[in-house]
Chains A and B, each alone.
Chain A
Amino acid sequence: MKKYKLLYLLPAALLFGCEPEIEDVATNGGSADFSVYVAVGNSLTSGIQGESLTLKGQEYCYPNIIATQLKSLGGGEFKQPLLKGECATKGVFTTFYPVPTSNLVLPSIVLKATPTGLAPVFPDPTMDWYSAPEFFENISAEGPYNNVGASGAKVGSLNDPAFSSTNNWFERFSSPGETVLEAAMKNNPTFFSLWIGANDVLGYSTSGGDEGGRAITSPTEFARDLNEALDTLTRTGAKGIIANIPSVPGIAYFNTIPLGTILDAAQASALTAGYAGYNAALKNPLLRIPAAEVAQRTITFTAGQFNYFVVTDPTLKTDRTSAGIPNIRQITSSEHLILRTPQDSLLSGWGTAKPIPGIYHINQEELFKINAATADYNSIIKNAADLRGLAHYDAYAAFNVISTTGIIEDGISLNGDYISGGMFSLDGVHPSTRGHAVAANGFIDAINAKYGSNIQSVSVSNYPSVEVTP
């Protein structure tokens, strides 16, 4: 009998060809309604890469990736305040102050082949300004916009009516006096994402800590402003997701500049001689510097070995600058130099013959404050999510894995190393396009886990790597 069946099957196979048919994945939204999605946040949300906004950055920002995946689950149009004209491709550098005339902006950081090799080339504020009147056109009438992320937004900016006049990024697509939350709520969202808080600590960190003059938001203020924002966003019953803040010292921005260098015998002995007077003075009993601090401040160089750089550290306990003893010491392995530490200065003697200024250096005390604030914010964020039954994306944990062990996606190795790691854009702070795809997948997993939906993830391999500018 079996033979008859086979005889019947074979001609059928010929007729119907030879394509396998795996059943399509059935999608469902679970308990959430994804028809109107709004994304609230800062530069991460707006799609800043390489410290600048470009049309590509906007296209590849994690909210837009999520919105695309929501389409098959009833998600509607996701309108973004897209850049227009020349600045859409050239990019607008975030640091556009001071602006010589109102229509001028700086272009993006680019990755270029330079005489010394492939390197990120930052726009030169003395000459690279170009006219981009489109950037300063107000496009709020074309809204409302589903992505209301604005570079520089802190948690306190979300409900601040002055933000629309003090932040060029938000001013572009908001009406005067409108808050970020009002701009978001104009959409009548059914679902929102909120990723905020990084600027509340990052501004302090990226400017070098205490020397930079930008304060860390207090946890009390943070909690108040965050809960206020969530009250507004959930007012009409919208569900949503809130992400926490990745570890600030874990980003490439703080882990790229080497903390020292290897010296040959001649260099080491010259430097040892140069600092001999300083080292001797530290021990001068008249200066009453405690022995432990003398040890911390004593500068030694060893030929043929890795020697930590010398930095200025105004937080040293015993300030004897009045006696002509500078506040300097050698950096330790757990500290950080920021990406913007001028490399040409390092080559010409910073860190060895001359101390590296403190604004480029994150010291232990500053690290402690940064980590403590991040931990406080993240527990506030988690509590707020739990209290309201919102999904929670643990970006802190996810990015920690990326910067410590690295991850592999579709055969691509990604880690936190600057440029070569593939995860960060050229500024070392904001994720690259692939970083956004990884983050979008993280959001999607957390949303699915909370609401029982099955939003499909994206293939990281479908997203481009950092481009090289010819």
Chain B
Amino acid sequence: MKKLLLPLLGILPLLSFAGGFQVNLQGTKQTGMGHLGTSFHLGASSAFFNPSMMGLDPNKFSIEAGANFISSSVQFQNGRTGVSEFTDNPLGTPFYLYATYKINDKLSAGLAVYTPFGSTVVWGDDWSGKYLIQDISLSAIFIQPTLSYNISDKLRVGAGFAIVQGKVEINKALPVPIGNTSTVNLQGSASSLLPSYSSFGFNAGIHYDVNDEFSIGLTHRSKVDVELDDGVADYSKDPVLVSSFPDGKFSADLPLPGTTTLGIAYNVSEKLLLSLEGSFVQWSDYQSLDFDFSPNTSSLQDSENERNYEDAMIFRIGAQYSYNEMFDFRAGFYYDQSPIQDEYFNPETPNSDNIGLTLGLSGHIGERFGFDASFLYVIGTERESEYQPANFGGTYASRSSIVGLGVNYNF
């Protein structure tokens, strides 16, 4: 298993195709049915979807890993000029790795490694919004040790804490009145493992079997502040601007919002499972992206950039059909609301209300080994928005195709 995973770990750029820069691709099985899995068990990935369900695994030990291959495109039609511009995003490959272990009938332990936030948007060096953003790449990896406990046959709880590794890189052109090719490159990273850093996340869940047919799950994944303390600001500029824009440091805080999810699963028959979920994402924590530059000059002041995100909802519906011993088929649909107001829509996160259509397939080879595949098509609905503080806007729309592949091994 480790051999398979190593090359995936090396490829990090992620893509934004969920609300804001949230990435909802934490399990290929779940992705195949609308990315829901809070209220029913689907293998080791439960460590993420609802930690309380780890004990539901029929196996002693279960491990699951996978990656997604995202190709996406955002179109911007400038509201002033009518000219369309497209992103040239690289292939994104977020990944996940889960392992659960049943210590006894009551207690299970697990480890989850996943990428719940990330975004790579490449507009190019010379597009009309270059003074807002040329390209941005941000990613956060969560490493989450987890425990679950079965309170009774019907009720279980679980929780884990998450060590967060975040990094961000931004390129943009400098809107200075002289010289035409001046740009800034901002790079920063943060880690919960650093002594200066205080922020951990947690992921807690509860799961209840109402009867043989219905079960309910509720989870909360906490807000995490990514504190970029030692960022590097590197200017490439006209030589006359050297004193105005000295290379230096910056710090910035990027909040990753908390998410509360309530799900219900209905076993229609032995073969067919239906599920509904609603998530509440507390994006209103993201009010402003502030850069504290050092050193400051009269041209290089600390910058406050309004974001004013609003809380957003995600609604999901999905179905799984167990065709036979070998194959499961899945399909789903979700509606993922954008947290961004029309007046504060910055092309660094070109996120509109997303509609996701998904298909999935799982296969079992022998008793222990399984593979999963999913396909997700995301329609980023057309919206007319602007970033008022920069007086820049137009019509945005996006499309993404995401192929997910996963493997699991159980014994």
Contact = CB atoms under 8 A, between A and B. Distances in A.
Interface of A: 2-3, 6-7, 9-10, 13-14, 17-22, 24-25, 27, 111, 113, 118, 407-413, 419-422, 441, 456-459, 461-462, 464-468
Given A24-B84, A456-B80, A457-B80, 11 more contacts: A10-B357, A13-B401, A17-B399, A18-B399, A22-B84, A113-B239, A419-B178, A422-B177, A441-B80, A458-B81, A461-B128
B333 A6 contact: yes
Given A20-B380, A24-B82, A411-B131, A467 B178 contact: yes
17 contacts: A9-B357, A13-B401, A18-B71, A20-B74, A20-B382, A20-B399, A408-B389, A410-B129, A411-B175, A412-B175, A419-B178, A422-B177, A456-B80, A458-B80, A459-B78, A459-B80, A462-B128
Contacts of A24: 82, 84
B268 to A, nearest CB: 13
A459 B82 contact: no
B296 interface: no
Contact of A465 (B72, B83, B176, B377): B176
Contacts of B342: none
A410 B390 contact: yes
Interface string B129-169: 11110000000000000000000000000000000000000
Nearest to A459: B128
B400 interface: yes
B78, B177, B399 — which one has the most chain A CB atoms within 10 A of its CB? B177
Interface of B: 71-75, 77-78, 80-84, 86, 128-132, 175-180, 238-240, 319, 331, 333, 357, 359, 375, 377, 380, 382, 389-392, 395, 397-401
Given A10-B357, A10-B377, A20-B399, A411 B177 contact: no
A21 B74 CA distance: 10
A411 B132 contact: yes
Contact of B129 (A19, A20, A411, A456): A411
Contacts of B132: 410-411
Nearest to A422: B177
Contacts of B395: 22
A412 B131 CA distance: 7
A470 to B, nearest CB: 8
Contact of A18 (B72, B130, B180, B239): B72
A18 B73 contact: yes
A407 B391 contact: yes
Contact of B179 (A413, A421, A457, A467): A467
Contacts of B380: 20
B178 A466 contact: yes
A22 B357 contact: no
A450 B371 CA distance: 65
A19 B357 contact: no
A413 B331 contact: no
A457 B179 CA distance: 24
Nearest to A409: B391
Contacts of A468: 178-179, 238, 240
A419 B177 contact: yes
Contact of A6 (B81, B84, B331): B331
Nearest to B399: A18
Contacts of A27: 82
A3 B401 contact: no
B239 to A, nearest CB: 8
Nearest to B384: A22
B128 A410 contact: yes
Contact of B180 (A6, A13, A113, A465): A465
Contacts, number: 124
B131 A25 contact: no
Contacts of B390: 408, 410-411
Given A6-B357, A10-B357, A20-B397, A413 B82 contact: no
Given A10-B357, A20-B74, A22-B75, A118 B82 contact: no
A410 B391 contact: yes
Contact of A14 (B74, B130, B375): B375
Contacts of A17: 399, 401
Contacts of A19: 73, 75, 86, 399
Nearest to B86: A19
Given A20-B382, A458-B81, A408 B397 contact: no
B178 A111 contact: yes
A457 B81 contact: yes
A457 B128 CA distance: 12
A456 B394 CA distance: 13
A456 B178 contact: no
B331 A7 contact: yes
A466 B177 CA distance: 6
Q: Which 3 A-B pairs have the closest CB atoms?
A: A411-B131, A422-B177, A25-B82
B75 A456 contact: no
A25 B178 contact: no
Given A10-B377, A18-B72, A465-B180, A459 B84 contact: no
Contact of B397 (A22, A111, A456): A22
Given A10-B359, A18-B71, A22-B382, A461 B130 contact: yes
Nearest to A420: B177
A410 B357 CA distance: 35
Contacts of A458: 80-81
A467 B73 contact: no
Nearest to A469: B240
Given A13-B377, A459-B80, A464 B180 contact: yes
B177 A10 contact: no
Contacts of A407: 391
B331 to A, nearest CB: 6
B81 A456 contact: yes
A71 to B, nearest CB: 13
B47 to A, nearest CB: 28
A113 B240 contact: yes
Contacts of A456: 80-83
Contacts of A22: 75, 77, 84, 382, 395, 397
Contacts of B401: 13-14, 17-18
Contacts of B176: 465
Given A14-B375, A459-B80, A118 B178 contact: yes
B72 to A, nearest CB: 6
A230 to B, nearest CB: 30
A420 to B, nearest CB: 5
A111 B400 CA distance: 47
Nearest to B390: A411
Contacts of A419: 177-178
Contacts of A13: 357, 377, 399, 401
B398 A118 contact: no
Contacts of B319: 3
A353 B33 CA distance: 84
A459 B83 CA distance: 9
Contacts of B333: 2, 6
A308 to B, nearest CB: 25
Contacts of B240: 113, 118, 468
A465 B131 contact: no
A216 B223 CA distance: 68
Contact of B178 (A20, A410, A461, A465): A465
B25 to A, nearest CB: 16
